[in-house]
Structure 1
Amino acid sequence: MAEIKIPTSFNIDLEFESADIMKRFIAWLIDLAVRLCYFLMGYLVLTSFRMEYTDNLIIYMFLIVLPILFYFPIAEIAMGGQTPGKKVMHVKVVSMVGNRPSISQHLIRWIFRMVESPLLFYIFFIPVIIPIVAIMRTSYSQRLGDLIAGTIVISTKRKGSIEETIFRDMSNIGYQPQFPQIMKLSDRDMNKVKDLLDRALKARDEELAARVAFRVKEVLQIQTDMPHTSFLETVLNDYNYYTTKDN
């Protein structure tokens, strides 16, 4: 597996391992098996009620065809970037900044999946040729849908953890920042704040947290009665919000 380093707005590279091509292929086969099983079960159930395909086309479309057609976006959105096959093989889809892809990103991947693997390819059972070629030719092991959507497929057993940086995903929680002055600090400053806060929390050292909070307030000329650790957590969240809101 190739190592992927994604530069962030914090001047820190997030390190991932790209999902192995064979693992991705096996995951695709598992998902194909899941869809085939669903089709057979749905067909058997409907025919047991004497619903012939030609006479009940709309029912077959809604109960069988559409769920299979939208299998990938539905599964990946519901399972946080994974499908049953991806979960079994320990791979997942993430955005290029390491967080959970948006719904639009999942839909773009799905649309280009159909472009890469048209019905004719399924007839000859070679729907993975174009994606494999793209994966092998791109620096981040991306297929066409990933390139357009701004996503990558990684191994869930990552070498570097996003929790080890000051990065926090503030994109999906409607966060409201409190201290716009925080942008006067640098990435290096914020990493130091994060490191000291982690130490204070781990050692339950209120005095250390108080010293760090006092220094940040002094530099930024902030007046607040928030508890020291809560203030520092808010500072980190605000920095993430302002730094990533336009990404």
Structure 2
Amino acid sequence: MSNHPFVFKEFSINQHQCAMKIGTDAVLLGAWTSLDKNPFSILDIGAGTGILALILAQRSAAVPIAIEIIDAIEIDADAYEQCVENFEASPWGDRLFCYHASLQEFVDEIEDRYDLIISNPPFYSEDYKPKNHQRDLARFNDAMPFEHLIAGVSKLLSDEGIFSAIIPFKEETRFLTIASRFNLFPNRILHVKGTPTSEVKRSLLEVSFRESAIEMKELIIETERHQYTQDYIHLTKDFYLKM
């Protein structure tokens, strides 16, 4: 199935060249990330298939938001080529651009600041690693550890900008501790549970250089198998075909 395009309501994504396939995490993050401040420029770090940038392009096209450009960076050559292909095939190809670069290379070469930075970063911290090197690079946090990611974000984010990411719930405290060292503070947090009785699995975090009261919410995906909650349907219905 992974060799076939993943079809959303307004765009399709080819993913056969990417180690990491389309998953719930990216759709949640793309749908949840706030566009309330009308960002002029957006950056997706570790773009993979380009799904986050494409979701934000769809959302911004639906309302009068003055987004001029959505940039993405991807270090893996195959994923980069796939991302470019997906961007060019989308209705918003004129606003989407992917750079084949590491985060450090991008920071060193780009002087621009972004109003919104988004990332679904690699986040395995377990000791074991799978044998697939591409998947290693895409998923393990020694490819782009939180410290490296947040340091880069702190240099690329505009003074009033926001950074939005999804990470394992167990990594939330460590992530926010690192962010605080770069004067980035949590403004919104969403805890995601698979079912009402399961443990919190993911944290969606919005941080900025502005300290504020934290808006804390919880999202439950299913009440039982394939019985999605109204909150989850409301968040993702603009993207999934069958939602």
Question: With structure 2 as the length reference, what TM-score do the two structures score?
Answer: 0.22
> Relative CO higher for 1 or 2, CA cutoff 8 Å, sep ≥ 6?
1
Give the number of the structure whose alpha-carbon radius of gyration is greater: 1
Greater fraction helix: 1
Greater fraction strand: 2
